[in-house]
Amino acid sequence: MATPFTKMQALGNDFVLIEENALKKPLTTKQIRFLADRRRGIGCDQLIIFKDSPKADATLAFYNADGSTAQACGNGIRCVAHYLGKDRGTIQTPSFLSTFWKKKNQITVSLRDPTFQGPLHKGHRVNVGNPHLVFFTEDLEEYDLEGLALSFQPARGINVELAQIISPKIIKAKVWERGAGITPACGSGACAVGILGLKLGLIKESPVSIEMPGGSLTVEWAEGKPLFLTGPVEFCYEGIIDIL
């Protein structure tokens, strides 16, 4: 099945975009894993299948590199917003309707209002369309992020972040994404870190800059107000791949 695709990335968090009408039938888990494979397929953290929508500019479905589904992806939404070529609009995700707009090479999207759960061990839980568990530390290198994250899988099925307060406006973070592992950046993870920094009083004022290995994202949030994520995205290339 020869299928056209687009490869995009946001701070190294990379995605393969495929229009649903280009597929003759739904992809199997094996086929999704093939597309995400960096040696045998195209390679990506997530596959995004999108289609036209009567209620938005596009409707998205997210698939992790291991073939599992995801309910939200901040950087993925921003990549699709850039792909659509519009200055502003809306995108329907599996868990919320996102509003987006562009300013030069910066794409801003809205995410779902956060919901908070009780602490888990020494971590703090928040859901912004998908679940996150954030550990604040004085030194990001103090913990083995992958080992820590895997200790909560698969029963918890949760994304895990390590975060370090750098200044009143900056948080440094690393992220482990369920279904993908450690990634250079994560949009919803940045939101989780920024929200909890503000909620816990570790950061006093929004917006907050979240610095990750792939670069920086800006998170804007306050109690009772919308959640916004801003950062750059880049088009990588287009191609056609034979999906067996």
**Catalytic (active-site) positions:** 73, 186
Query: At residue 238, what is the residue type?
Result: E
According to DSSP, residue 204 is labeled -
Contact between 6 and 16 under an 8 Å Cβ cutoff? The reply is yes
Show the tokens assigned to 82. 């850039």
Q: Which of 122, 219, 112 is nearest to 162 (CA)?
A: 122
43 burial type by CB count under 10 A (0-12 exposed, 13-18 middle, 19+ buried): middle
Q: Which of 124, 123, 120, 208 is nearest to 165 (CA)?
A: 208
Task: State residue 178 phi and psi, 5-degree precision.
Answer: -60, 135
Task: State residue 157 phi and psi, 5-degree precision.
Answer: 55, 55
- Relative to beta strand 13-19, strand 123-127 is unpaired
